[in-house]
Amino acid sequence: MTRIVVLPTARAAGDALARFVARALTTSPNLVLGLPTGRTPLLFYDAIARLHEQGRADFRRATTFNLDEFAGLAATDPRSFHAFMKQHLFDRVNLSPVRRHVLNGSARSWQKEIVSFERKLADAGGLDFAILGIGANGHLAFNEPGRSLVARTHRARLSDTTRRANAWAFDGRWRDVPRYALTLGMGSILGARGVLLLATGEHKAGIVARAFAGPITTRVPASLLQAHPNVVIVLDRDAAAKLPVRLRR
């Protein structure tokens, strides 16, 4: 079942998602979370870091797997998702370094890296919650639209749309954004016991409507979530604007 929750502002949407995750951590301290990067989750990470400071979000026994990483970038590269996570979450909460997993974009063998990541994810029992954003082209993690999708962790070629959308982390120069990334596959995302997707801003309204009110198609990877039994979509009013009224609450 897909539940769509619409909040008045992006900040309220980030807060609502953070409260949901904090509550889930209280009920199940051993939670295994899939974590996104990008501009959208910044408000979520700020909110959950604040809840942590207030003693209301405890990551001590949690395990995390980041959804993706740019190929070729080392963890220490300030443009890497690894560096993003360190800045926005890892340095702000009590998540154990041994239980947080980010694909190594600069691994000598990406083939070995994806096998090892997939094994760690399986050993952890898969994801309890995949926390996701949605690309303007409908991608989830770096599972880009196409004629087919890949189930497991893999190396993906990034579309120019996606490279442009990530230019903000590369001084606005989209051609500097790597052409490839390592990413969790659609099977691992759809295998999560729960999915929490956050989308904000009017630039996401069109794709949100296509993904959740249109047909299920690999051309819009996020539309596959319609077939998942436990999905919560958290939107601000702007991102919800093009959804049919019956789907907005």
Catalytic center residues: 68, 137, 139, 144
Please state at what angle helix 10-27 crosses helix 41-53, rounded to 10 degrees.
50
Give the full edge-to-edge strand order of the sheet including 100-101: 2-7, 231-236, 194-199, 129-132, 32-35, 63-66, 100-101
| Closest residue to ligand PGA using C-beta atoms | 38
List, in sequence order, every beta strand (DSSP E) within 15-132. 32-35, 63-66, 68-70, 100-101, 129-132
Question: Phi and psi for 210 in degrees, rounded to 5?
Answer: -65, -40
Nearest approach in angstroms of CB 219 to ligand PGA is: 16
Footprint of ligand PGA on 30-69 (CB under 6 A): 38-40
105 or 133: CB nearest ligand PGA:
133
Footprint of ligand PGA on 108-167 (CB under 6 A): 133-135
Nearest approach in angstroms of CB 38 to ligand PGA is: 3
3 or 39: CB nearest ligand PGA:
39
133 or 194: CB nearest ligand PGA:
133
31 or 197: CB nearest ligand PGA:
197
Nearest approach in angstroms of CB 133 to ligand PGA is: 3
Burial of 217-232, coded b for 16+ CB within 10 Å and e otherwise, reads ebebbbbbbbebeebb
Footprint of ligand PGA on 71-110 (CB under 6 A): none
Q: 226: helix, coil or strand?
A: helix
Under the rule (CB under 6 A), what is the footprint of ligand PGA? Answer: 38-40, 133-135
